[in-house]
């Protein structure tokens, strides 16, 4: 068993690694004639719109495949939010590129 004094630093390291992995998969949005600042502002606008959408808080109420309802809802919400952001950016004329 891991001593309690080591548990917190271990969790911080694991969380940082997971966050870095997620960030590296994010597309870089591009649009002809648009600066990176404009793309970042458009992305932030789309993120806010997606998070304020009441449909983003809906999700599975029953566990799927041994999961828990809370985690399943979070996964469903995150997936829906990413889809909404993608649609919003494409409507603004941006295309997903690679980093």
pLDDT > 90 fraction of the chain, expressed in percent and rounded: 41
Between 57 and 90, the higher pLDDT residue: 90
Between 65 and 47, the higher pLDDT residue: 47
In a 3-state reduction of DSSP, which class is residue 93?
coil
Model confidence, pTM: 0.62
Whether the CB-CB separation of 92 and 29 falls below 8 Å is answered with no
pLDDT > 70 fraction of the chain, expressed in percent and rounded: 59
- Name the E strands within the chain: 28-30, 95-97
**Span 19-29, average pLDDT:** 65
Q: What is the pLDDT of residue 4?
A: 67
């Amino acid at each position: 068993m891991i001593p309690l004094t080591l548990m917190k630093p271990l969790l911080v390291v694991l969380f940082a690694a997971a966050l870095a992995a997620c960030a590296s998969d994010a597309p870089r949005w591009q649009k002809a004639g648009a600066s990176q600042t404009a793309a970042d502002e458009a992305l932030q606008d789309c993120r806010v719109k997606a998070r304020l959408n009441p449909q983003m808080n809906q999700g599975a109420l029953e566990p799927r495949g041994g999961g828990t309802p809370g985690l399943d809802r979070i996964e469903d919400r995150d997936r829906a939010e990413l889809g909404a952001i993608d649609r919003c950016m494409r409507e603004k004329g941006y295309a997903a590129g690679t980093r």
